[in-house]
Every structure is written in structure tokens, then in C-alpha cells.
Amino acid sequence: MKAGHRRRLDTSEKWFALLLRLYPVHFRRRFEPEMFELFRERRAAARTIPSRARLWVSIVLDALRASLRERAPHPRWNLEMAMQDVKHAWRGLRRAPAAPFFIVLLIAIGIGSTTAVFSIVHGVLLRPFPFGEPDRIVLAWEKRNAVARNTVAGHEFPEWKARSRSFASLAAIAFDRDFTLTGAGEPAALNGVRVTAAFFDVMRVRPVVGRPFGEEADVPGHGDVVVLSHRLWNDQFARDAAIVGRTIQLNDRPHVVAAVMPEGFDFPANGSGEPPDLWTPIAEPIQQYRGRHYLFVVGRLADRVTLAQARSELEGIAFGIAKEFPSNREHTVNLQPIQSELTADSRNPILVLFAAVGIVLLVGCCNVANLLLARAKVRQQEIAIREALGAGRWRIARQLLTEAGILSVAGATAGLVLASWLLELGRTALPAAVPRIGTASLDPVVVAFTGFLALATTVIFGLLPLSSTFAVDASERLKSGAKGVPRSTRQPIQSLLIVLEVALTVALAIGAALLLQSFTHLNRVDPGFVPRGITAMDLTLPSSRYADTNAQRRFFAELVTALSGDPGIESVAATNMVPQSGSRSGLPIAIPGRPSRAPGDELMAQYRVVTTGYFRALGIRTREGRTFTDSDARLAVPLIRWFERQPVPLFFDEPQPVPIAVINETMAREMWPGENPIGREFRALFSPPIKIVGIVTDTRNAALSEKPVAEFYLSDLQEPQQRMTLLVRSTSDDGGTATTRRHVARFDPQLPIAHVRTFESVVHGNLALHRFTSSVMSAFAAISLLLMIAGVYAVISYATAQRTHEVGVRMALGATRIDIGRLIIVKGLALCAIGAVLGVGGGYALGRTARMMLYEIEAADPLTYGVLLGLVLCVATFAAWIPARRAMRVDPASVLRNE
């Protein structure tokens, strides 16, 4: 009969044959050959790939629908049967509502928290970035000694670009300039990035209108074009499509709008995680900025070039550069895929949270399984009766599955509600620096994930009781049921569940404790300055009106003087880099009179430019010498020159105060060990000798978790800045913002004040991720601990109840109450101890995963482990003690009478 299709099947026919397995045997026997024939006919008609895809979708859906109908236990229609199952299950659940209620609650907590965290995992880590072929885009860093990710210097990038063949395009990005938009209402301070034209070839994102600038814009002097972000286009230009070709005033210079990028294109965000408002060309002789590390480099790999090939090529080029520029020795290249790079900082905490939430889900599931098992035991008799009355096993299994299904669907629905609430909470609690956190949502992928979890719980927990039910013969169950005493008191599944629950809880508790301690340590760290009560505001002087460094110096000096004379302001200072704001700037240091260090091994120090009152305003104490005074003002500014042939400033030869610096304790200790550095001199990059006049206490300027590094301060009177952040301490409610605005407007009404924030929020913002992960982990650990207590209690008390008869007999034979208590507790504790030991291993694994977030604590901290083991075992003993006490009170006479 079947000879016709017994020939070899090709791949797609094999798939179809697999699909046919869905149908009942009798259906297949009758129709299979013809169905094959129809399939071949359809396949032959579908030649293009899309039509093939459509064919397969329709074939699979058709098979699912039709086979379900064929498999329906009643020929007419399945729906009413299913409804009957649901009604029956509902009646069953209503009869004893407590257990189902807890099951739904447990599933809701498990699925809800898992879904919330998964939506963050998906939104932040997994979803591809909205770039063209994002997996071909890489970020390139300079790598030297201890620093894996150094920004690229001006003399390096042009060499990389010219010599490499591995990239379809290679672009540089610089964040070193602020932008002020004028001529469109209030002057607005904007986040602008400067990029080379190749940036748009690398990203391959099509603008909404216009075309991005091309290579001609890279030529110095031709950079007055701009690409707008969708947000800026929307907010400032009301989505005017005719904007392209028009001129806007940026930093008082006319810029021609070339294009508008699409919504959601937010690359590259600056150090504070803020998305760019506009992109303009770098358009400067980059190669002249030798030794100035200010470029971020992004590239698109050429076709068929792997990351490793590109990396080794760039390393070769870096080696070549090092030969020409000895200061580049030991500098190599670090090439990373953009997706992992952009999510690098948040990857670790988020994955740790995901592991934690997975543990909560598992512990919750253990409890659900326990409850269902207990229910199944109770219902064994009911099931046995139904089986004896002729209900097939399939019918009973369907009944149990329907029950589990109702519980899972109810739990998952409640879980989704919980998840959306938790997600909202998480989005506000997580720092804005976590990229794309705002876009994490319960999108279809996440809901599908929830659906999968619900389905898995249904199948596993619906079938688990079934296995134990059918393991015993129905007649046995009827017999033993009649007696009310099950034959076996051994509960292998329950014991396993206890071990698992305890192990998971211990692991999670250890992880949470490690993170919590790290956070506490971090919170106690003294940053070395007092941020409380200070408001920070950014001010950027446009080059057009303040091209002269002396004009810049004068502006800030006069503004600070005016502000400090205002009665509403307690203290005022300014700096070019707010501590802990993510930016840093290191310079090589040379000390006259000492042999120069080998290239690549120079002394390095961070530096900041500050106003005279900075140290007092921030509560930084002077250790020795003095800090800056107004009489330090120099005519010949600035001190730091970025390339060797940069012309010396005006009035260089005039008599004036010498260049001075204040250094921190670490720099004093590292560079002048055992000496008094006051009065000594050093050079930074190509600066003239700078004299040290004072030593101040260390501050943690990079991050609370980073130890202070060598750092020196320059006075803005000697090193004027175009961009400064005002740090204002005021008693007024708005932190002195209004007063500052008034004064600034008096000096220059065209100048916008940007980015008003409290200094405390800057410092706290850096801790936000730590605070978030450690508190969420602790919450998860607490939930898990509670669930574990409930689980241990439930299993042991159930087992004890089953052993009432045995206990009665033992007591009648002379066992004391203490013996009985020990019997019960020891059994429970033995299981918990096994679990706890396994949990320690899990805790260590979790701690290792989270080690990047650990501060002043090891992943293998013996104290933490000891305390938590003790705690969990105490709690477990308590959970076992309640049923043990009940067993100790058993009256042997009454038990034996019942026999």
C-alpha cells in the first residue's frame, strides 16, 4: 500500500513526517500517503524563500490545529470537554482553597520577579542595538600596562585609520566640547559629540531626513555642519522636515543642519550616560594632539574579517607607532564588540540578579511541588476510586494537568501584574547610567518568557504528583486509604526538595550577604570631601565670545567673586571636573633632576583645575603648605600644552607669579617618598616646571570603590577653563540655583546654565547600582529564606503526621519524649545540613560571579559563610522543632487504641 512514499525522504519531508506524528495512528494510517502528496505539491509550488517560510508556518499551524482536533477525546468538539475539566478542577480547588491560594501566590512571586528581572536582562543586555549589523561594530581602545581601556591619543588614531585594512570604516569620537544652541528661544546647553565623518558609515543608521556629513567635513575649518538627534529635532524644531539645509547657531557659529537621526539612536552616550543631542565633525588636525588621549574609536569590521584578525592587525600598527614614538612603548590595542562593551558595566550586576531571581523561582517551585505532592497524597484515595470506577489514566492525568494549568495561569497572570509593578520600581531605582534601562518593558519576548515559565511549571508540577500516584497500584492505594495510613513513610522526592531548597537558599543568602557587606563598606567610605548641601551647575563659555584664555579666566573669577559676596550663598567654588562624575584626565609627570623614566613607565597623575575656594568649599583639609590665593593669577596662561610645538602663551616673559600646584597625599607619598615635596617642581606633559605649594588630604575622585590615586590641582587663575562646574552651597530651597542664574545672566544673558544637580546625587548615583543590587538580592534572600522555612516545616510536619502511629508504638516501647524529638529533628536537620553544604558551593559561585561588585570582602569570606550556615540551620531547626514538639505530645495510648 505504502510503496509509493517508501522512497527516501528528503529533509523537509522528514520534518513533515515528524509533524504527522502529531496525529492519532488510525488517522495517519488512512490519510498519511495522501497528505504527503499534498505536501509535496504545495512545496513544489513554493519556490522563493518567503513563500517557503509561509508554507511552513501554515503547515505547522494546520498540523497543530487539526491534530489537536483529531486527538480530542470526543469526536464532536474538544472545548466542552476542556470546560468540563476546568469546572471539575475548579470545584476541586474550591473544596480546599488554602493550598491553591498559596500555590498561586508562590507562582506569582516566582514568575513575577523572574519576569521583571528578565525584562531588564532582555532590554539592557540581549536586545540588539539599533545599528546596522551591530555585531560587526567594535570599539577600539588603547591598552597599556594596567589600563585595559584608555582613550586613544591624537597621534594614534590617524595611524590606525591610515594603515589598517581590517575595517570597512574607522571613526573617532570626542566628548570634549559643550554646545550651546542660541537663536531659538532660551539659550540651551546641549550634549554634543564630535565625530569623524566615518562614524555614520560605521553605525549604518539611516537618518529620518537629510544625509549625514561626509569626509569633506573632516577638513579643519569645514566642520560647521551638524546632525541632530530626533529628540532635539522634536523639542527645539517641532519636527520641521525643512530643517535640513538651514543654519542654526551653535556656540555662536552658524552650523548647517545636514540630517536628523531616527528616534532611539542614542550612541554614544557621554560619561554620565546621557544620550547625545547632536553630532558635529571633529574637523581638527587630530594628529597634532600627540599624547592627548581624548578619542573613543569605533569601527566596522570589513567583510570576512574576524575580531581576532582586526585586533592583531591593530596591535601590529601600535607596535609600529611605538617604534616612532618611544613614549608609546607597551601601548597595545583592545578591541571589543560594541554590544558587550556598551553593556559591560551593567552586565555583571544584572546577571547576578538574574541568577538570584532564578533561585527564588526554584525555591518557590520546590514549595509548590511540596504542596502538590501533599495534595496528591491526600487525593490518592479519590483518584483510586475514580480509577476503579473506570476513569482512564489519561483522563486522570488530564484532570491533574488541568488543575496545575489553572494554578499556573492564575499565578502567571498575577505574576505579570507583579512584574510590571516591580519593573517600574526597578527602572526608577536603577541609575540612568545603565544603558537602555528606560526601554526595558514587558514586550512580547518577555511575555513569551513568562508563558514558557508558566507552561514549564504546569507540566512539571502537574506531572510530579502523578508519578507518585501511579507508582503504587490502585488496589493498594484503595486498601491503604481505607486504613488511613500510607504504607511508606519514605518521601524521596520531598527529601530531595528540602535539600534543594536549603542549598539554593544558602547560596542566595551568601551572595546577598556579600553584596550587602560590600555596599555597607562603600557607604562608610569617606570620599575625603563633603558633598552635602552642594548644588552643581555646568557653565560653558562659547569660543566665539571667550576665545581668549584671559577672558575665560576673568569671567569665572568675577562670577565666583560676585557669588561669594551674595548673602544667599554660603560658599562657591568651581572645577573643570566634578569628583566622581565619571571623567578623569591623567598626565605623565616628569620630575626635574631625576633620570627620565622609560617610556610607557612614566609616573602618571590625575589633575583637576579648581578655583581658589575649592578646598574650603568641599571640606578638603590642607596637610602642609598652602592652597591657592588670588595673588597666584598669571598673565601667561595656560600651563598645560597638548603638543610640543603649541605656541607659548602671551606675556610668557613678563615677571609674574610662578606656576604652582597643590598635590594630594598619595602623590606626595608616591613621588617624593621620605621627602618634603613643598617647594619641589614637576612637569606635566609639555608644561613649564610647576612648583608644589601645598599638600591636601586624599579624595576619592574617581569612585568610592577606587582607592585615591596621585593627583594634583591647578588654579584656574593659571589654567583657565572654557567649561567649569560651579559648586554652590546655599541654605535656600533651590540650592542657590536662582541666585546663580541671576548673577550669570548679569554677566552674560546668552549663557545657559546646564545640568543642575545636587553633588550628593552625583555621589549617590554611583552607588545606585550597588544599592539596587544589594537591596534586591537581600529581598530575594529573605523571600527565599521564608519559603525555605515554610517548605522544611511543611515536609517535616507532614512526615511526622504520617509517623504518628510509629511514634506511638515507640513510646509504648519505652522511648522518651526527648528520643522522639531527637528522631524528628535529626532527620530534618540531616537533610538541611546536606543542602547547606551544597549551598556553600553555590554561594561561592555566586560570589565569584559578583566579584566585580565586591568591595573589601572576598568571595570566600569565612565569617559570612559561617554566620549564614548557622542562621539557616537555626531556622531549619526551628522549622523542624514545631512538628517535633507535636510528635512529643503524642499520647501512645490513644494512638494504639485507634489501631
**Residues contributing to the site for other proteins (CB under 8 A):** 1, 4, 23, 27, 30-31, 33-35, 37-39, 41-42, 58-59, 61-63, 65-67, 69-70, 75
Rank residues 61 and 184 by Cβ distance to other proteins and give the closer one.
61
Q: Least distance (Å) from other proteins to the CB of residue 48?
A: 15
Among 526, 561, 504, 534, residue whose Cα is nearest residue 788: 504
CB of 398 to other proteins, least distance (A): 21
What is the DSSP code string of 82-97? HHHHHHHHHHHHHHS-
In 10 A of CB 434, how many CB atoms?
Answer: 23
Q: Read off the amino acid at residue 515.
A: L
Cβ proximity to other proteins: between 1 and 146 the closer is 1
Q: Taking the complex as a whole, how short is the minimal distance between the CB of residue 66 and other proteins, in angstroms?
A: 3
Nearer to other proteins, 33 or 486 (CB): 33
Residue 8: CB minimum distance to other proteins, A: 19
**What 3-state DSSP class applies to 140?**
strand
Q: How far is the CB of 402 from other proteins (least distance, A)?
A: 24
Q: Of the candidates 556, 565, 563, 554, which has an alpha carbon nearest to the alpha carbon of residue 538?
A: 556
Question: For 389-455, what is the HEC assignment?
Answer: CCCCHHHHHHHHHHHHHHHHHHHHHHHHHHHHHHHHHHHHHCCCCCCCHHHCCCCHHHHHHHHHHHH
Q: Which is nearer to other proteins, 6 or 524 (CB)?
A: 6
Residue closer to other proteins, measured from CB, 5 or 386: 5
CB 454 within 8 A of CB 111: yes
Nearer to other proteins among residue 41 and residue 186 (C-beta)? 41
Residue pair 709/665 in contact by the 8 Å Cβ criterion? no
Cβ at position 42, least distance to other proteins in Å: 7
Q: How far is the CB of 397 from other proteins (least distance, A)?
A: 24
The residue among 27 and 354 lying less far from other proteins, judged by its C-beta, is 27
Is the distance from CB of 226 to CB of 256 less than 8 angstroms?
A: yes
Closer residue to other proteins in complex, CB, 65/393: 65
Smallest gap from Cβ 72 to other proteins, in A, equals 11
The nearest distance, CB 52 to other proteins, in angstroms, is 14
> Do the strands 690-696 and 622-625 form a parallel or antiparallel pair, or are they unpaired?
antiparallel
Please report, to the nearest 10 degrees, the dihedral formed by the alpha carbons of residues 717, 721, 723, 726 taken in order: -10
Min dist CB 513 to other proteins, Å, is 56
Using the structure block, give the residue that is written with the C-alpha cell 574650603. 616
CB nearer to other proteins: pick between 41 and 899: 41
Number of H helices, E strands in the chain: 24, 25
- Residue entry with cell 566640547: 177
Bridge partners (DSSP) listed for residue 226: 257
Of 37 and 473, the one with the shorter C-beta distance to other proteins is 37
On the 0-12 / 13-18 / 19+ scale of CB atoms within 10 A, 484 is: exposed
Compute the distance between CA of residue 877 and CA of residue 502 in angstroms, rounded to an integer. 12
Which C-beta is closer to other proteins: that of 20 or that of 391? 20
CA neighbor of 252 nearest in space, from 193, 178, 151, 198: 178
Q: Least CB distance from residue 405 to other proteins, whole Å? A: 24
- Characterize 503-532 residue by residue with b for buried, 16 or more Cβ atoms within 10 angstroms of its Cβ, and e for exposed: bbbbbbbbbbbbbbbbbebbeebebbbebe
